[in-house]
Structure 1
Amino acid sequence: MHISTVSVNLLVIVLSLLSRTTEAQHPTYLYHVCPNTSTFSLNSAYQVNRDSLLSSLSSNGSRGDGFYNTTSGRSPAMVYGLFLCRGDFSTSVCQQCVATAATDISRLCPVETTAVVWYDECLLRYSNQNIFSVLAVSPTVYMYNTQNITDQDYFNELLAASVLVAMNSMSIQSENEPPGAKKFAANDTQISRNQTLYILQQCTPDLSGTDCRGCLQFARRNLPTGRRGGRLLSPSCNIRYETYPFYYQTPVAAPPPRTPAEENQSESNRTRVLVATLSATFALLVISLSGFIIWRRRNNRENSQGGQFLDMVEGRIPNEYSRETFSGENGERSQEFPSIQLDILLAATNYFSRENRLGEGGFGPVYKGILPDGKVIAVKRLSRTSGQGIVEFQNEVMLIARLQHRNLVRLLGCCLEKNEKLLVYEFMPNKSLDVFLFDSNFAVQLDWQKRFNIIKGIARGIMYLHEDSRLRIIHRDLKASNVLLDHEMNPKISDFGMARIFEDKNEANTNRVVGTYGYMAPEYAMQGLFSIKSDVFSFGVLLLEIISGKKNNTFHLSENGESLLIFVWKLWSKGDGMELIDQLLVPSCVASEVLKCIHIALLCVQEDPADRPTMSSVIYMLASDGTITLPNPTEPAFSVGRVVSEPISNDGACSVNEVTISNFSPR
């Protein structure tokens, strides 16, 4: 009897906690796109209308149909907007997601006239063009689980058939429902005796049946296949499949009234039903108690592993690299790598409040924090839904904690408590380089001298990684968003989760290509071969972006499909290299320095790695006064114009292990 009472109390507590967790669950961010090809001025009529529109969308998030579109303002500053919630979520979940999206999109896309943001629970978009009842499949975002299916041919055939069944089901429903009704379908198909395939697809209700079907056909053709899970997101429709149940089953229709004979039969079965119910309840209590015990053991084991990991870090990092302390400890503690208590970081970040949130990466969100002594920090928090795990966490700590250079961001400490994985860095008040380069309102703050100093600082940081540190390190994900700027606009390279220690050989091979397409060297993107010359290629792309103020990945939107590299090569071949320069730099630029930087960048992006210079040679060329003759570049390597985010892996059977590719042009 005592055990039963304990079990009941435990079950009540567990269910209460689960209920609270579900109610307070924050929407799961997936991706956003806001091309900077068209922007509006701060405090303009368009911004006023955009903000009014977002407020209107947010206030209508509780609509029962999960869809709403509206406009704000008048032409030429009119803004069109809509939201769509996933068809299996409740009204309260929809309302919370839309409210979050309306807040986030104005932060993620502060001055762009067109934007879309996707969450697991909803999407929200706005534009300066009419988007109502208009089929839109671009931009397209692909996500997939990195775990492959064994029998891919059989699985892909089954997937195609199942998607078609769901599509036909949606078409039949649409024909029998009034205009504007949900265009949503979910079904499951048995793969084998022990495995089921779950599929969900949805269109915005304002589409016609023909456009919805066309959108889903596009999604079906381009859906990542051969994986344990995948999805395709577009502004007008989406498809997702998994080998585990990820959606809520649709309610079953109420049964018809029973006949008197059936009622009598039901009465005679009540005793048996009661016995079965009591047995099931007791089994549930036993399972809950067992689950709680297993959870406690696992939690203790994870905390123990965290302690062992910190001991390992402290044992490997030289004392002179770990002098930072956070709570006024004496000299005994200051000789160890700082393990910062969770309660200190919770207080510093106001319990990871939205107001303290600085941004979002593949690892998870980053928060600003203020320690009791007034020191400002940045805290990276491994997202519970992130595919990255302890491997990338350890990798970043083990690598960056050993590195000390003025152009590398400083890791101040870490925390592994209560299933939290936190990295603490020095705070960079000016955020990342991409914020300044690709936003005209901020780009004016970067004259040529500042950009030239940033170029040289990045080069020095990479050279240190390649040649001057105790370890030869390949960063593998060098890009503008991974270059942070301090209060004096000095660059500091960050994000070493994908970095690798390079052994004494010319190149290495990996089966897991990670990084960002557009910055990747061709031999790495296509064959998995990486070396110090892979980082040199990425530096060359970054150098051209700094000069032009344009993103390589989105450049082809406005340049007839040409990548930034091909466009630069054509200008250079004609002797028109200065046409590349960001027009904001014209008053301050030094033509000889600009042309020299373009020349160096073209050398860095040569197709053959052997033709690319080392970073020490790059620094020598940057410092030269024009007395040396630089080698002539040849046509640069082909550049993939797509963005890859969250290039991560996770062995969890039920966690979506997603690599995101955003394709900005039709395939």
Structure 2
Amino acid sequence: MVIHLIFLLTQTLILIVLSIPSLINTSQLDYDTLVFKQCDLTDTNILQKTTKYRNYLNQSLLIRAQAVSSFLRKLESESSRSKFYKTLVGNEEHAVSGWFQCREDYPSEICHRCVGDLREISSRLCGNATSARVHLRGCHLKYEIELVGTPSAQANNHHNYKLFETPEHGLIHKICEGATAEIFAGFEEMRTEALTAAETGVVDGHGFYEDSYKLLHVVAQCDGHVKACDCGECISAAAAAAAEECRWSIAGQIYLEGCYVGYTYYPHEIPDESYHEEGTKANTGKSLAIVVGVVAALVFVGIIFMFLKSLRRKGDDC
């Protein structure tokens, strides 16, 4: 009986220890924070020009909303198997083409949750938009709607090929935050070197790069349909945009058509943790690790106590 209990306690301890890394990593991920959204709401004018009767407008909007809903459900389903997926979903009047992408270093389960949140958020924020782009911290999506009955749609077999062409790397969104870095000697040179390393890193890393360079932590990623050489060019353009748009910001995020770059400057030293930009989440991970460690220690003490107790009983029997 005692031996069996000790065996069960040992198994419990092993499971706790093995689960610590995944618990900590998951707790650190701020994947569902909205970074930005872009919704093209020019749909009403388009539909009014293409419908013969004005009272048909509401029905067309409903049909299109169903197509978008099917598209978003398809993305959420595929996110359990992939971190990038592009597709075309259509009905008798509307076709929806687009993709989702998750941050490459986030676990698959987090990717699936993130895309699930994207589905809800994009539906709520962009409604009946003809095109939408929604970025969360851990994933993003983009889609466009095309009227199937139009000549251009029929010529392209109802597929919006422009959505998947090599982008022009235009600036979509920027975030420049933190105190001025002008007082830190060599900051600009350090950032230039770090982002240059990212330009090479995304090519070697098949579209994703995360690393620390001196006092900078850098993350870069290209959209999944962007080719390797174009990916490097996009990150180079993002680095140039960071130098111009966020010149003295100690933290910045640059989103271009096709890629994004984020950097964080630590004047003293880079924290020895993953996912540096989510500082509060990292602290939560530390706290969780402490709690799990205490529980594991208590289980271990319990095992020792039961073992000693069993030895004492055997001594009493003699």
Equivalent residue for 1:229?
A: 251
Equivalent residue for 2:76?
A: 58
In the TM superposition, 1:122-521 aligns within 5 A as 122-128=139-145, 129-130=160-161, 131-135=163-167, 137-138=169-170, 140-151=172-183, 154-173=186-205, 182-190=206-214, 196-223=215-242, 224-243=246-265, 244=270, 247-248=274-275, 288=290
- Residue segments in structure 2 that go unaligned for 5+ positions in a row: 1-12, 48-56, 146-159, 277-285, 295-318
Q: SS in structure 1 opposite 2:43?
A: coil
Could you tell me whether the CA contact under 8 Å between 1:166 and 1:201 is conserved in 2? yes
Structure with greater helix share of residues = 2
Q: Write the letter of the residue equivalent to 1:142.
A: K
1:67 aligns with 2:99: no
The 1:133–1:103 alpha-carbon spacing in structure 2 relative to 1, beyond 3 Å, is same
Rg larger for: 1
Equivalent residue for 1:27?
A: 32
The 1:288–1:150 alpha-carbon spacing in structure 2 relative to 1, beyond 3 Å, is farther
Q: Write the letter of the residue equivalent to 1:49.
A: A
Q: Write the letter of the residue equivalent to 2:76.
A: S
Equivalent residue for 2:130?
A: 113
Aligned residues: 229
Q: Write the letter of the residue equivalent to 2:187.
A: F
1:45 aligns with 2:74: no
Counterparts of 2:187 and 2:30 in 1: how far apart (Å)? 33
In the TM superposition, what is the alpha-carbon distance from 1:156 to its structure 2 partner?
1.2
State the Cα deviation string for residues 256-294 of structure 1 (Å, max 9, x = none).
Answer: xxxxxxxxxxxxxxxxxxxxxxxxxxxx99x959xx9xx
In the TM superposition, what is the alpha-carbon distance from 1:236 to its structure 2 partner?
1.7
Structure with greater strand share of residues = 2
In the TM superposition, what is the alpha-carbon distance from 1:237 to its structure 2 partner?
0.6
Q: Write the letter of the residue equivalent to 1:141.
A: H
The 1:240–1:23 alpha-carbon spacing in structure 2 relative to 1, beyond 3 Å, is closer
The 1:24–1:120 alpha-carbon spacing in structure 2 relative to 1, beyond 3 Å, is closer
Q: SS in structure 2 opposite 1:34?
A: strand
Could you tell me whether the CA contact under 8 Å between 1:81 and 1:127 is conserved in 2? yes
In the TM superposition, what is the alpha-carbon distance from 1:239 to its structure 2 partner?
0.1
Q: 1:36 aligns with which of 22, 34, 41?
A: 41
Could you tell me whether the CA contact under 8 Å between 1:200 and 1:241 is conserved in 2? yes
The 1:137–1:153 alpha-carbon spacing in structure 2 relative to 1, beyond 3 Å, is farther
Could you tell me whether the CA contact under 8 Å between 2:253 and 2:262 is conserved in 1? yes
Could you tell me whether the CA contact under 8 Å between 1:89 and 1:248 is conserved in 2? no
The 1:197–1:139 alpha-carbon spacing in structure 2 relative to 1, beyond 3 Å, is closer
Q: 2:101 aligns with which of 60, 65, 84?
A: 84
Equivalent residue for 1:418?
A: none
Counterparts of 1:247 and 1:133 in 2: how far apart (Å)? 33
Could you tell me whether the CA contact under 8 Å between 1:152 and 1:226 is conserved in 2? no
Counterparts of 1:211 and 1:84 in 2: how far apart (Å)? 17
Q: CA RMSD in A?
A: 3.4
| TM score, norm. by length of structure 1 | 0.31
